Amino acid sequence: MTTAIYPGSFDPITNGHLEIVHRAAKLFERVVIGVYSKPDKNLLFTTEERVDMARKATTKLSNVEVRPFGGLTVGFAREVGAQVMVRGLRMTLDFEREFDMAMMNKKLYPELELVCFMAAQEYQFLSSSLLKEVAGLEGAIDDLVPPPVAEALRKKNQESS
């Protein structure tokens, strides 16, 4: 059985992320979304909240599970028995960053293969950071995230006002 991991901070998970998950779920028997607990980013949501949103967004995908992780991504890949790491690419800048990480990961865990999916055209501009900014300014986000995420973003923004 081929297991793939899809690691990220997912703060929050977007429809762009989910489009990648759906495509990966068609190719691999098992996909584990790894929600990184300690990214070097300013997070809006806790690890538990991010895991919960990702789980709610993927409930209809029987071969997808969501787990939090810390430390090296290759350590997480070994822990879940992954042979593949899935990543989404939106633009050239993503490729450059992913290429550097792929080379380091290959050095640390040679058995782990990287599979990159080009983002669907309607999500090429979408990032969690941009989404949080738009949501914070009360912009329309409902077509960019699953309903539980839109609700969570509105709630967070009301709490901080």
Tell me the two tokens of residue 3: 């297991």
Residue tagged active-site, from 26, 38, 41, 155: 41
User: Which of 115-135 are b and which e, b meaning 16 or more Cβ less than 10 Å from the residue's Cβ?
Assistant: ebbebeeebeebebeebbeeb
**In the sheet that 64-69 helps form, which strands lie side by side, from edge to edge?**
64-69, 30-36, 3-8, 84-89, 113-118
Collapse the DSSP code of 88 into the 3-class scheme (helix H, G, I; strand E, B; otherwise coil) and give the result.
strand
Residue 78 · residue 105 · CB < 8 Å = no
Residue tagged active-site, from 9, 30, 50, 128: 128
CATH topology of domain 3-160: Rossmann fold (3.40.50)
Say what the pLDDT of residue 161 is.
67
Q: Can you say whether the dihedral through the CA atoms of 72, 76, 82, 84 is positive or negative?
A: negative
Residue tagged active-site, from 17, 50, 87, 132: 17
Say what the pLDDT of residue 19 is.
97
- Please confirm, yes or no, whether 41 is among the known catalytic residues: yes
The amino acid sitting at 8 is: G
Q: How many residues does the chain have?
A: 161
Calculate ∠ Cα 147-58-56, nearest 5°.
50
- Please confirm, yes or no, whether 9 is among the known catalytic residues: no
Residue 76 · residue 5 · CB < 8 Å = yes
Say what the pLDDT of residue 89 is.
93
Tens digit of pLDDT per residue, the chain (161 long)?
A: 899 999 999 999 999 999 999 999 999 999 999 999 987 778 999 999 999 999 999 999 999 999 999 999 999 999 999 999 999 998 877 888 889 999 999 999 999 999 999 999 999 999 999 999 999 999 999 999 999 999 999 999 888 76
Domain map (residue ranges) of the chain? 3-160
Residue tagged active-site, from 90, 106, 154, 156: 90
